[in-house]
Amino acid sequence: MNTLQEINDAWSHADRNKIAAILSVIPGVGHLYKHHYVSGLGILIGGNVLTLFITAWLSLATFGLALIVLPAMYIAAVAASAYYLEDFHGKHQILHPWRQEDH
């Protein structure tokens, strides 16, 4: 068996939920990995900017504690959301036109 086939077999048996949670170290990327494009881009652009603003604002009131706690809680919540989200991989007909629909 060649190396490329071994990598492909290992990747096809990987737990996509765990991969999505790991990718959520950058919040929103796990949602994009599971083909939830609107929520993924919303988190990636809007959610991260909003979290950055709120963290900067609260860091003044909490003597910097918010610089650690708030981003950690945000990343954990987004990772949990990506883990439990339904996987739409292969379910978008427009993205996978070569797949035949079962009628």
Is 98 a member of any domain? Answer: no
Confidence of residue 95 (pLDDT cuts 50, 70, 90): low
In this predicted model, which residue has the larger pLDDT, 10 or 84?
Answer: 84
Is 89 a member of any domain? Answer: no
Confidence of residue 100 (pLDDT cuts 50, 70, 90): low
Is 5 a member of any domain? Answer: no
Is 69 a member of any domain? Answer: yes
| pTM of the complete model | 0.77
* pLDDT over threshold 50, residue 62: yes
Least confident among 22-31, 33-42, 65-74, 94-103 = 94-103
* pLDDT over threshold 90, residue 92: no
3-state secondary structure 76-87: HHHHHHHHHCCC
Question: How many domains is the chain built from?
Answer: 1
Domain that holds residue 22: 15-84
* pLDDT over threshold 50, residue 103: no
CA 9-38-93 angle, to 5 degrees, is 55
Is 50 a member of any domain? Answer: yes
Is 71 a member of any domain? Answer: yes
Q: What is the predicted pLDDT for the residue at 83?
A: 94
Instruction: Calculate mean pLDDT across residues 87-99.
Output: 70
Averaged confidence pLDDT in the chain:
87
